[in-house]
Structure 1
Amino acid sequence: MKVTQEKLPASQIGLEIEITPESTQQTYEQVIRNLAKTVNIPGFRKGKVPRQILLQQLGNARIKATALEELIQNGIEKAVEQESIEAIGQPRLRSSFDDLINNYEPGKPLVFTAAVDVKPEVNIAQYTGLEAKAEEIKHDSNRVDEVLEKERQQMATLIPVEGRAAQIGDVAVVDFRGVIAKAEDADPEAEPEPIPGGEASDFQVELEEDKFIPGFVSGMMGMNPGETREVSAQFPDPYVNEELAGKPAIFTITLKELKEKELPELDDDFAQEVSDFDTLEALRASLDERYQKEAEDKTKANKQEALVTELVKHVEVDLPATMIDQEIDTMLTQTAIKLSQQGLDVRKLFTEDIIPQLRERSRDEAIERLKRSVALQEVSKRESISLTPAEIEARVTELLEQYADEEIDEDRLRSVVENEMLTEKIMDWLLEHSTVELVPEGSLSNEEEATETTEPETEAETPESTTESGV
């Protein structure tokens, strides 16, 4: 079999394959024999149909098409093996199948063309001495106080209030009913429109401004138990219920009970109640250490992200369709799993009509993810960065012990661990051989926003080039 290779775009190899006359004849004859054994033709037993009758009944085009399918499939498989091509995905026939049927003559050479995807060649112009900026996340010591105060609030005891009116910080038990406020030009005789779900009895609400829609809590200030009052409020925009977003409302509120929080003392007893520590000082130190570590991890993640973003700018790679499709598949599968874990019916969200749109919307992100992945793999290859089996096994064993009560696929776990550890090792190498300037938190995002708002419009923009992208 003669095979001629040709380099094609998108990391494809084109193959011109010439099947020998002997093979085209043998395959054709074998197809006829197989059909004679399986086809039912009235008046003849299976396997006893005369050749000429079989050809008349089935038609030469059908037999040739069946033979061609086998010749093409076997031809491509043998060509890939003969040329030692590391193909990925399914090969594609480039020749017209109809033309092949018309030109195919058993006993004569058959020439057709196909294409196979292969791993892309990665060209990195630079991967050392990179320069990037990343936001530094600093631990705010006030966070420990905020966390402890939140715990105190959750452990508070509610004490009935007597002899005073409602104030911020109280907990109120109310009955309420809400309606949409009438427009100025509305019919004064018309009944106000009730708010869907805007009615409740014995509803407990913390009198904090952020606990309800704007105006509701502030309108209750000064109320006394047993009092009923009409309070004006307004739904924020945006709002979960889009039909209510931005609309003014009137709530009729009856205050039934008023309570205040009695907070526990912030002492060693409190620490023992909310944690495994014996003293408040130890609890504070543990929280401080945890949040300090969290800030350092976020800073490192920012540095890694900035560095990979810079690295990709120096990468040239012609990604094959197979890799892009596989990455899109992975992304959609991950999304489906997350939605399913949230209790959503994935089958209703991923319909036959919507999946093609989702795939198209995911394409750019899939390409970006692949560029990052192949760039890191290329750095690993060039610098011989690898893991030892002992390193992988140690981490796998640690995780298995940590999650001993759960069913875990060890092979899957090992694969994930190896990928994560190798990526971390590559990133550490890049950080050692590059410069990442740390800047205050929020400064880079502010720069991006400023750039977007001051970017001039160009005359070259067209309605087609500025269409909204999907989410």
Structure 2
Amino acid sequence: MKVTVTDLGPTQKKLLVVVEPRHVEKELDKRYRQLSQQVRLKGFRPGKVPRKILESYYGKTVQGEVSNQLIQETYPDALKQTELKPLMEGDVEDYRFDPDGSFSYSAIVEVRPVFEVKDYLGLEVEVPARRDVTDDRVAEQLSMLRERHAEIRSVEGDRPAQTGDLVVVDVVPELDSQVFDKGVQKNFTLELGQGTMHPDFDARLVGHHGGETVRFALDFPEDAETRDLAGKRVHFEVTLKEIKEKILPDLDDAFARKVGGYESLEALKEALRERLRKADEEASKLHVRRAIMEQLLQSVSFELPPKVVEREVDRRIQHFVHQFSVQGIKLDPSRFQTPEIRAEQRPAAERDIRWRLIVEQIAAQENLELSDEEKETIYAEVARIYRTSPQQVKEEYQESTIVQEMFQQKLEEKVFKLLEDHAVAKEGAFEAPREESEES
């Protein structure tokens, strides 16, 4: 087999593969012998049909089958011979049986860009200032837990709606004297005081009773989330169909046992303190890693293979559609393949690919690899997910997407650890993340 490589650009190569006539003839002869045993032609016994006759009937079919076989057999060897490491499957084109008996084809291959990462050790990063786990933060967590475990009851008697209530409403908005269909809501549940619809919407319902219809107008700001309403005055007709109140549970030992099996309220508080400490550590770690990532993304420049970027755009769109399907929302994938949506997804796709290549390059420069033990741990984890054996994962799924992604994540963890250990830290202001209680 003869292989030649032509440069088409920094990240694109063209392979020309020529398979010698002797090997081509061997495969053709084998296929025609098999075919001779399988076909039934009048005047010929099975296995005795001359090849010339078979060629006249099945020549194109046999050539197609042998072409696929030869490409599948020789393409991996061609990559090894040229030491090319493609980032995705190559595009095979121009395959043919040549007059001299050889078989040739070409393949366009997207390859890793050649670059070096410099000055990645000793990066200066701002570390968030240490944050105390105060009684107020613990109390906030307890408050969220009480809200989550509140009992919801319909309001009895003549009590009007008040802040904190849940109200079931029908909402009919009018814009420019026409019903705004996109904003019509039926049996919509709203917690008064949350400002979900508009900062002043909830206040217009406080003090009204179930069964009442309330009419009012609100002005929406220019930066309103619903663009159709930006800078507009909207007239609302809201019918209060039901008012419900939240009955918060008492904060005692029984509550602690109910929400997490803790022996006492104090034990629950201590568990929340520990969880907040860990959350602060994770937030600080994430902050540092983002700072490291941003510095390297800004300082390292190289060209990306266009087809690899487009494949990542496809993957992101497929993931987006899948997320909706998991929620029971079925969408036509073709609706998300518009030029506008692909253009929106492309910067994030390019960023993800760029970072992955930087991680792999640093790992190569530092000789960082996954140990056999680390790989075995990943095989075991995948085996647990798919309810099979680690050995089967190793033999049959080693090149699968999930295994390769887990390999990549582990390698990224090693690279981050290296960069963090050598980073120069300076303390900065802490931006508190939104805290949510994780207790059930």
Aligned counterparts of 1:309 and 1:365: Cα–Cα separation in 2: 13
Deviates more, 1:269-278 or 1:319-328: 319-328
Change over 3 Å in CA distance of 1:123–1:265 after alignment to 2: same
Aligned-residue offset at 1:81: 7.0
SS at match of 1:248: strand
Aligned-residue offset at 1:272: 3.5
Are positions 1:155 and 2:150 aligned together?
Answer: yes
Deviates more, 1:388-397 or 1:432-441: 388-397
Q: Select which of 111, 123, 128 maps to 1:130.
A: 123
**Residue 143 of structure 1 aligns with which residue?**
137
Amino acid at match of 2:145: E
Per-residue CA deviations over 1:210-247 (Å, capped at 9, x if unaligned) read: 36655554234445x6895644154964349989x963
Are positions 1:302 and 2:287 aligned together?
Answer: yes
Amino acid at match of 1:429: L
Aligned-residue offset at 1:430: 0.7
Change over 3 Å in CA distance of 1:122–1:43 after alignment to 2: same
Aligned counterparts of 2:61 and 2:412: Cα–Cα separation in 1: 53
Aligned counterparts of 1:28 and 1:390: Cα–Cα separation in 2: 42
Aligned counterparts of 2:249 and 2:28: Cα–Cα separation in 1: 92
Which segments of 5 or more consecutive residues in structure 1 lack a partner in the other structure? 444-471
**Residue 427 of structure 1 aligns with which residue?**
416
Aligned counterparts of 1:32 and 1:172: Cα–Cα separation in 2: 74
How well do the aligned residues superpose, as a CA RMSD in angstroms?
A: 5.5
Are positions 1:440 and 2:432 aligned together?
Answer: no
Change over 3 Å in CA distance of 1:383–1:50 after alignment to 2: closer
Change over 3 Å in CA distance of 1:408–1:297 after alignment to 2: farther
SS at match of 1:251: strand
**What is the aligned length?**
412
Q: Select which of 287, 295, 308 maps to 2:272.
A: 287
SS at match of 2:203: helix
* Bigger Cα Rg: 1
Are positions 1:219 and 2:204 aligned together?
Answer: yes
**Residue 367 of structure 1 aligns with which residue?**
350
Aligned-residue offset at 1:307: 0.8
SS at match of 1:303: helix
Within 5 A, what are the aligned runs for 1:9-48?
A: 9-16=9-16, 26=25
Aligned-residue offset at 1:300: 0.7
Amino acid at match of 1:155: A
Change over 3 Å in CA distance of 1:116–1:79 after alignment to 2: farther
Aligned counterparts of 1:86 and 1:416: Cα–Cα separation in 2: 21
Within 5 A, what are the aligned runs for 1:57-456?
A: 73=71, 77=75, 80=78, 83=81, 85-86=83-84, 88=86, 89-92=88-91, 104-106=98-100, 114-133=107-126, 138=131, 141=134, 142-153=136-147, 154-155=149-150, 166=160, 168-169=162-163, 171=165, 179-180=172-173, 198=185, 206-208=191-193, 210=195, 215-223=200-208, 228=212, 230-234=214-218, 237-239=224-226, 247-251=234-238, 263-317=248-302, 319-320=304-305, 323-324=308-309, 327-328=312-313, 330-345=315-330, 348-351=331-334, 354-355=336-337, 357=339, 362-390=345-373, 408=387, 411=393, 418-441=407-430
Change over 3 Å in CA distance of 1:248–1:80 after alignment to 2: same
Per-residue CA deviations over 1:96-153 (Å, capped at 9, x if unaligned) read: 67xx78xx5347x888765545555442233212234466684674332223223334
Which TM-score applies when normalising by structure 2?
0.66
Aligned counterparts of 2:84 and 2:410: Cα–Cα separation in 1: 26
CA contact (8 A) 2:32 2:51 kept: no
Amino acid at match of 2:142: L
Amino acid at match of 1:251: V
Change over 3 Å in CA distance of 1:423–1:222 after alignment to 2: closer
Aligned counterparts of 1:349 and 1:12: Cα–Cα separation in 2: 33
CA contact (8 A) 2:3 2:78 kept: no
Deviates more, 1:191-200 or 1:206-215: 191-200
Amino acid at match of 2:119: Q
Amino acid at match of 1:83: Q
Aligned-residue offset at 1:294: 0.9
SS at match of 1:249: strand
Amino-acid identity (%): 19
Aligned-residue offset at 1:313: 3.7
CA contact (8 A) 1:122 1:375 kept: no
CA contact (8 A) 1:214 1:235 kept: no
CA contact (8 A) 1:171 1:206 kept: yes
Aligned counterparts of 2:421 and 2:124: Cα–Cα separation in 1: 12
